[in-house]
Amino acid sequence: MPKAFIFPGQGSQYVGMGEDLYHAFENARERYSEAAEILGYNLSTISFKGPENELLKTQHTQPAIFVHSIIIDECLKINGIKPYAVAGHSLGEISALVSAEVLTFEDALQIVKVRSHAMAHAGAINPGAMAAIIGIDDKQLKTICNQSGVVVPANLNTPRQIVISGEIEAVKKAISSAKDLGIRRVIPLNVSGAFHSPLMEPARKSLEEVINSVNFHNAKIPVYQNFIAKAVTDCENIRENILYQLEYPVLWSDTILNMLQNGTTEFIEVGPNNVLNRLNYQINQEIITKNFDKIEDFFASEIL
């Protein structure tokens, strides 16, 4: 049964993530030790103990999710569960590149380190906001994004769930416009910037420099990238698409549908929480998605 690994992005974090893995698996202890050296602070303390306001900072959230996801990925493979293809939502795409052996753990974490700081800095320079819009069609999306100021689709998560991103006032106007159209749910998101929008432009130079400073290898298995929602294996194309992802929308729904069309029969969400599982269900209720977040998930699946 062809299995695809999918890796979550920012928003899936929670205080306590990874602590059970740390005590159970040697590779988890090694990865958190390596992360402390690369990041210059003790990531395990923030991941395990918080406080939540520290974990919610972009420069902590992204490394925490990445390291947690890679530990799970390694544990699955050690126990004989391997993917035929991978994808990741936003930050999760970098986790997917490690799984596909495009990047080493160390090089990928260097990218995550720079990416998270650069995105936080861009959010400080260009204050922005994001909101999830539930129950929206393409015509309504165009209407609510037709505002003075910058507001664009950022995450095309499911056919009926879109996240918009942009300048604070423009997003407020878009939210008001959505309510006027009778959109059933509009949820402002607790984020530190307008991710996947033109407001992330100040982060581009730093991200480009670190991406060009590390070695990318051709993918051992197909990687479905956010920018194009299609499988890529060539390392130079992957490198370009990772940079484009910063300012362009995450085409998640199309990614999952393309993976299904190309033979995926089961998805495994690799990392904290079950955000992608829920999105998959909204894309197609027949999709089979298993979650691996905690050690109990391994026992429940009779892997350990």
Q: What is the spatial distance between Cα 73 and Cα 148, in angstroms, rounded to a whole number?
A: 44
Nearest one of 135, 134, 226 to 188, comparing CA atoms? 134
Q: Which amino acid, 5?
A: F
Residue 244: both structure tokens together: 């484009």
Q: What is the spatial distance between Cα 231 and Cα 262, in angstroms, rounded to a whole number?
A: 10
Say how many C-beta atoms besides its own lie within 10 A of residue 78's C-beta.
11
192 is catalytic: no
Say how many C-beta atoms besides its own lie within 10 A of residue 26's C-beta.
8
C-alpha 111: how far from chain center: 14
Question: Which residue among the candidates 68, 196, 197, 253 is catalytic per the annotation?
Answer: 196
Say how many C-beta atoms besides its own lie within 10 A of residue 281's C-beta.
14
> Are the beta carbons of 58 and 91 closer than 8 angstroms?
no
Question: Which residue among the candidates 12, 69, 90, 99 is catalytic per the annotation?
Answer: 90
Q: 229: phi > 0 → left, psi -120 to 50 → alpha, else beta; which?
A: left
| Range 113-131 burial, b when 16+ CB lie within 10 A, else e | bbbbbbbbbbbeebebbbb
Residue 11: both structure tokens together: 């928003």
Nearest one of 98, 134, 57 to 220, comparing CA atoms? 98
89 is catalytic: no
The residues carrying an active-site annotation are: 90, 196
